[in-house]
Structure 1
Amino acid sequence: MIQTISVEESRQLDDKTINQIGIPSMVLMERAGLKIYDDMRNNSDLDLNKVLILAGTGNNGGDGLVVARLLCTHGYDVSILTVGNPDHASEDHVSQQKICDYYQIPKTFMNADFNKYTTLVDALFGSGLSRNVGGDFATVIDKANASTAKIHAIDIPSGLNGDTGEVMGTAIKADSTSTIAYVKAGMVKPTAQPYVGKLFIDDIGIYKGNTFDNE
């Protein structure tokens, strides 16, 4: 049986790994990006011919930016759509955006035609979403769901409650999801199943004990 954790447990494990064990958050973000990139390449359901990263301004978006860079440096056609206020971006997100700028990864905007992409990467929200999705985020989620592109979600499909699996106003309907470290409890709820799709569990060095055990 797959081991699950709550949103609060996820937050505590992140804090323990970064601040007590001493693995820098950027290292964890790099590991996550590499795992997600590999998941996508090894998923025959995805067509990576033309990819759009939907990035929020937090660390989930930062993970998406790492994926964008890996796709770019391995010859894939990838663009980035950043959603949210850049003035409120996390420190790691800002650092990853600078790296993407170095590689001159194209940016696009809200009015982009999502149907011209073969795969969308959902990096809008992590598992800690606590209120209903609105504004530009809701617009982008609904537009993504209505598009012909496949969707790969990072950690949890944006808009799903990590504990209950309920839709917070609207949510990404992913074809596949790379969850980080452990599956969040809400993702195995019946209400969440149509949104999660094929599930990958990525070991990036965040453990409940001193070893990785997801069974």
Structure 2
Amino acid sequence: MVQTISVAESRELDDKTINKIGIPSMVLMERAGLKIYEDMLNNPALDLGKVLILAGTGNNGGDGLVVARLLCTHGYDVSIVTVGNPDHASEDHVNQQKICDYYQIPKAFMSDDFNKYTTLVDGLFGSGLSRNVGGDFATVIDKANASTANIHAIDIPSGLNGDTGEAMGTAIEATSTSTIAYAKAGMVKPGADKYTGKLFIDDIGIYKGNSFDNE
């Protein structure tokens, strides 16, 4: 049986791991990005011929930027579109964007034709979304869902409520999802698989107790 946590527990575990145990958030982001990259390589449903990262300005988008760099440095055709106000970007996101700039990873635009990509990576929101999706984010989510590309979501499909498993206005309908540490409770509720697709659970060193099996 899949272990699950609530959105509140997810925040608490992140805080414990970073601030009490002392593993820097950038280290966790690097671990997450590597796991997500490996999940994508090991998923035959994804064609990685031409990949677009949909990156919000928070740490979920930062995870997406790590994936972009790993794809780029391993010879894949990858571009990044940033959605949201870069002036409000998290510190880790800013640092990851600087690394992507070093590698000269191409930047795309929301107006681009998403059908020219084979895989979209959803790094718009994490699990803590608290209100219905609107504005540019809703536009990008609907455009992604309408495209011919398959979608791989990071942590939780953007727009899906991590506790209830219901779409918050609109939500990414992913082919597959890499969820970090534990599945969120809403992701295993009836009907949520329409949004999550195939579920990968990535151990990056965030645990309820002192190990992955500790309840």
- TM-score tier, shorter chain, comes to over 0.9
- What is the root-mean-square deviation in Å for CA atoms of aligned residues? 0.9
Contact 1:68 1:78 in 2 (8 A): yes
3-state SS of 2:80 partner: strand
Alignment partner of 1:158 is 2:167: no
Deviation (angstroms), 1:214: 8.2
| Cα distance between partner residues in 1 of 2:90 and 2:213 | 30
Report what 1:114 is aligned to. Answer: 114
Contact 1:181 1:201 in 2 (8 A): yes
Report what 1:174 is aligned to. Answer: 174
Report what 2:129 is aligned to. Answer: 129
Alignment partner of 1:103 is 2:103: yes
Deviation (angstroms), 1:169: 0.3
| Cα distance between partner residues in 1 of 2:155 and 2:81 | 18
3-state SS of 1:80 partner: strand
Report what 1:193 is aligned to. Answer: 193
| Cα distance between partner residues in 1 of 2:87 and 2:199 | 33
Contact 1:54 1:120 in 2 (8 A): yes
3-state SS of 1:191 partner: coil
* Aligned amino acid, residue 89 of structure 2: A
Report what 1:206 is aligned to. Answer: 206
3-state SS of 1:109 partner: coil
Contact 1:182 1:214 in 2 (8 A): no
Contact 2:208 2:214 in 1 (8 A): no
Q: What CA deviation, in whole Å up to 9, does each residue of 1:149-178 have, x standing for no partner?
A: 000000000000000011000000000000
* Aligned amino acid, residue 179 of structure 1: T
Unpaired runs of 5+ in structure 2? none
* Aligned amino acid, residue 154 of structure 1: I
- Deviating runs (4+, > 3 A) in structure 1? none
* Aligned amino acid, residue 126 of structure 1: G
| Cα distance between partner residues in 1 of 2:34 and 2:123 | 14
3-state SS of 2:192 partner: helix
Contact 1:142 1:170 in 2 (8 A): yes
User: Normalising to structure 2: TM-score of the pair?
Assistant: 0.99
Contact 2:162 2:184 in 1 (8 A): yes
| Cα distance between partner residues in 1 of 2:103 and 2:213 | 37
Report what 2:26 is aligned to. Answer: 26
User: Normalising to structure 1: TM-score of the pair?
Assistant: 0.99
Deviation (angstroms), 1:135: 0.3
Q: What CA deviation, in whole Å up to 9, does each residue of 1:129-159 have, x standing for no partner?
A: 0000000000000000000000000000000
